[in-house]
Amino acid sequence: MKPSSTTEKKTRSGKQPLDVDAVRGDFPVLHQRIYDDKPLAYLDNAATSQKPSQVIRALVEYYEEYNSNVHRALHFMGDKATARYEESRASTARFINAPGVRNIVFTRGTTESINLVAYSWGRKFVGEGDEIIVTGMEHHSNLVPWQILAAEKNAKIRMASIREDGTLDMDEFRGMLSRRTRIVAVTHMSNVLGTINPVREIASEARSAGACILVDGAQSVPHFPVDVQDLDCDFMAFSSHKMCGPTGAGVLYAREELLEEMSPFLSGGEMISKVRDDHSTWAELPYKFEAGTPNIADVIGMAAAMEYLESVGLEEIHRHEVELTHHAIRRLEEIPGLKVFGRAPERGGAISFEVDGIHPHDLSQYVDREGVAIRAGHLCAQPLMRRLGVSAVSRASLYLYNRPEEIEQLAEAILKAGKFFSHGS
């Protein structure tokens, strides 16, 4: 994939601020006007991100030029598809600084990656009386698979608390670690509070207690540089669609020794070495975990997205988002009756809030008519909602292409909603 000339310039120039106009030029979807000619302000990036032309082109190229199955076709197009698919694995390894391609399993996304670990690693290594530590800010995807495993094995889920400011209670977490802890499953960045958790420290504590650590990278890998070796985690899960790539593709990073010890998750074609009448042996890593025809086009599209983000610069993206987040919080808090949840000093651009007297669903529908896309609901984090004392929140979530003008559009829309709902409809 070729980066656009504008983004190419930025990479070379190092620490320049992100050229948001140039970035926006890469995203065709952002330029539309909706309803009565309102500019679209897309602020629902934690749910899914938009796709640049570079990614769309990679998908079109695959289908127009070399659509074929991988690993088994003995022809030109099959060779090309296999080469691109495997190059995507190498790009993914580089993107998160994994030791090699054997550490990279392609999945459908974060949810499937975590289920793979809970199923293949968990069913082998978690037993009666063992403990699984999660935090009170986990997405359901990093909680429910562990609950199912715990119920099956008679193991116990322990949930580390969130402090008033939205950070993890590290003292309580340390106190929970024991010889019974098998795994710590923690989100790198909360999709509700924006909190970035101290994953390196958590990994080191977990390791000292003899436990494994899984990091849910769904909201971190798309937004700032993530180095799995530096974090020293055992597993890292993330999704393509939240990082400018297509839906239906994602990644499980795992230490090689663990993948070797784990049993297959799904089985059938592609993941075998030898199939006898009554038993089979498994393919080498990582293919043991990739049964059936993979999602070839979207994996190639995901690698194009990673290359795109690298060409813009992940440091630059993070800096831009942090600045815009601080601006957004300041602006939103000027609105009477609006409360932002989460005050973590280390945070990214997921900003959840409530407005006195307006249900989050009503608010999000109202601002939508003003051209602003935000999310409302429990955000797949019901345990956290209970701790915050609400059943739902509104959430604006930012990405590399968002601008202060869109924050202003949101703020104006909320102020207008305030007047509308206070006068009654």
| Number of residues counted as binding ligand PLP (CB under 6 A) | 13
Pick 66 or 289: Cβ nearer ligand PLP = 289
Q: Which of 139/320 has CB closer to ligand PLP?
A: 139
Residue 352 per-residue DSSP state: E
Say if residue 164 is exposed, middle or buried (CB neighbours under 10 Å; 0-12, 13-18, 19+): exposed
Site track 184-223 with ligand PLP (rule: CB under 6 A), x = hit: ---x---x------------------------x-xx----
- The phi and psi torsions of 389 (rounded to 5 degrees) equal 75, 30
Q: How many CB atoms lie within 10 A of CB 278?
A: 5
Q: How far is the CB of 135 from ligand PLP (least distance, A)?
A: 11
How many CB atoms lie under 10 A from the CB of residue 361?
A: 12
Closer residue to ligand PLP (CB): 141 or 181: 141
Instruction: Supply the minimum distance, in Å, between the C-beta of residue 191 and ligand PLP.
Output: 3
- Provide, rounded to whole angstroms, the least separation between the CB of residue 199 and ligand PLP: 13
Residue from the set 7, 197, 239, 409 that interacts with ligand PLP by CB under 6 A: 239
CA atoms of 130 and 153, how far apart (whole Å): 9
DSSP type of residue 25: H
How far, in whole angstroms, is CA 359 from its chain's centroid?
Answer: 27
Active site residue 244: no
What is the C-alpha separation between 236 and 216, in angstroms, rounded?
Answer: 6
Least Cβ distance, residue 6 to ligand PLP (angstroms): 29
- If one counts every other C-beta atom within 10 angstroms of the C-beta of residue 70, the result is 21
59 closest CA partner among 312, 299, 222: 299
Site string for ligand PLP, 19-48 (x = CB under 6 A): ---------------------------x--
Residues 281-310 contacting ligand PLP, CB under 6 A: none
Nearer to ligand PLP, 89 or 139 (CB): 139
Q: How far is the CB of 226 from ligand PLP (least distance, A)?
A: 13
Show the binding pattern over residues 102-141: x = contacts ligand PLP (CB under 6 A), - = does not.
-------xxx---------------------------x-x
List residues bridging with 192 in a β-sheet: none
Paired residues of 92 in beta bridges: none
DSSP 80-109: HHHHHHHHHHHHHHHHTT-S-GGGEEEESS
How far apart (Å, rounded) are the C-alpha atoms in residues 398 and 319? 12
Minimum CB–partner distance for residue 239 and ligand PLP (Å): 3
Give the separation between CA 312 and CA 309, rounded to whole angstroms.
5
Nearer to ligand PLP, 185 or 411 (CB): 185
Return the active site residues: 380
Catalog residues that contact ligand PLP under the rule CB under 6 A: 46, 109-111, 139, 141-142, 187, 191, 216, 218-219, 239
